[in-house]
Amino acid sequence: MTPTGTLHRLGQSLWLDNITRSMLDDGTLARYVAELSVTGLTSNPTIYNIAIKGSVAYDAAIAAKVREGRTGERLFFDLAIEDLTRAADLFRPAYDRTGGLDGWVSLEVSPHLAYDAAATLAAAKELFARAGRPNLFIKIPGTPKGLPAIEEAIAAGVPVNVTLLFTQEHYAAAAEAYLRGIERRIDAGLSPRVASVASLFISRWDAASAGDLPEHLKNTLGIAVGEQCYASYRSLVASDRFQRLANFGALPQRLLWASTGTKDPALSDHLYVRALAAPHTINTMPEPTLLAFADHGALGGTLSPGGGRSSQTLFEIARAGIDVAALGEQLQSQGAAAFVKSWDELLQVIAAKAGGA
């Protein structure tokens, strides 16, 4: 069995953190599904900026949409929805087989809306309706202003991938928004089977803290935060509150490991895959990480439901001078700003290609 097959058999979903029109056209994504146990994918503004800027695969479609009068964000979302609905159809067997727990793709609202709850909710509803696929998540940042939009979207029946989560507090707030949305649906006599995932970013912790930590603590912070949040997740799923919702048919908001590519070339190229193996979670991997793990990956065990050594590691990191809570807020703000930058560059690339159409 391949390493990816072993991880999938453990109970973790393997999603691809990438999409391009080329991988849809040439069968690469279908091969990952058939051979590497990939059962979903995620996208973001940075991924699409690279995909459209770095190839001619979208040029003909851009030219055609310009002739139809499409420009700017509308044109981009047309392109993205075309890609993601094709991918969603490819993953539909996994979605059907798991009763809606797996087999998802994700489309992000404009990152300019990260701090505007009303506009985020309106965009989420519109994009989900335009896509017309049950297995398409709308990505909404788990910023303080994004949390009300997450609750409202869930209450309205829109599946949500909560993105840009970094700390245990961020995760808990996203989970609370999801639970409130589901509880409102039950109280209104509506189906509670509205799926959600909570995307916790991992490797950015280590990139941000490595220069301030002693050697033995470098590249341990991201995994420790992951272990801490996994313990919270397991506790929540076992809670009386969630079990009551499950009795009505609600799905758990699964914990998703994001940003799992290794940024330090001196480290294992699948460090965060091996370290974060855990049933009933998702690891969305950049393409190089997926291929590296498939080629020579090995598992060393699974995460402890109780958090493992995370408390001790986080204590030592705090003693070394890292304010983990403050760094988490900084990383969330930086992440939102980075997506805005990629989004603006993406629209500039599309405008340039449209101008040459």
Q: pLDDT (tens digit, 9 = 90+) per residue, 238-294?
A: 999 999 999 999 999 999 999 999 988 889 999 999 999 999 999 999 999 999 999
pLDDT of 357 strictly over 80:
no
How is residue 212 annotated by DSSP? Answer: G
Sheet holding 38-41, edge to edge: 38-41, 13-16, 281-285, 254-258, 196-201, 160-165, 136-141, 105-108
Mind listing the pLDDT tens digit for each residue in 135-194? 999 999 999 999 999 999 999 999 999 999 999 999 999 999 999 999 999 999 999 999
| Six-digit token string for 321 | 């001078």
> What confidence score (pLDDT) does residue 115 get?
85
Locate the domains of the chain by residue range.
3-355
What's the N-to-C CA distance of the chain in angstroms?
Answer: 48
Give the active site residues: 139
pLDDT at position 186 is 98
Residue with tokens 């949305």: 181
Tokens of 235: 């506790």
Kind plus residue range of the DSSP H or E element containing 258: strand 254-258
Non-local CB neighbours of 255 within 8 Å, separated by 6+ positions: 171, 197, 198, 200, 229, 230, 233, 281, 282
Q: Which DSSP state fits 303?
A: -
Concatenated DSSP letters of 310-323: HHHHHHHHHHTT--
Please tell me the distance from the alpha carbon of residue 40 to that of residue 89, in angstroms, as a whole number: 11
- Domain 3-355 homologous superfamily, CATH: Aldolase class I (3.20.20.70)
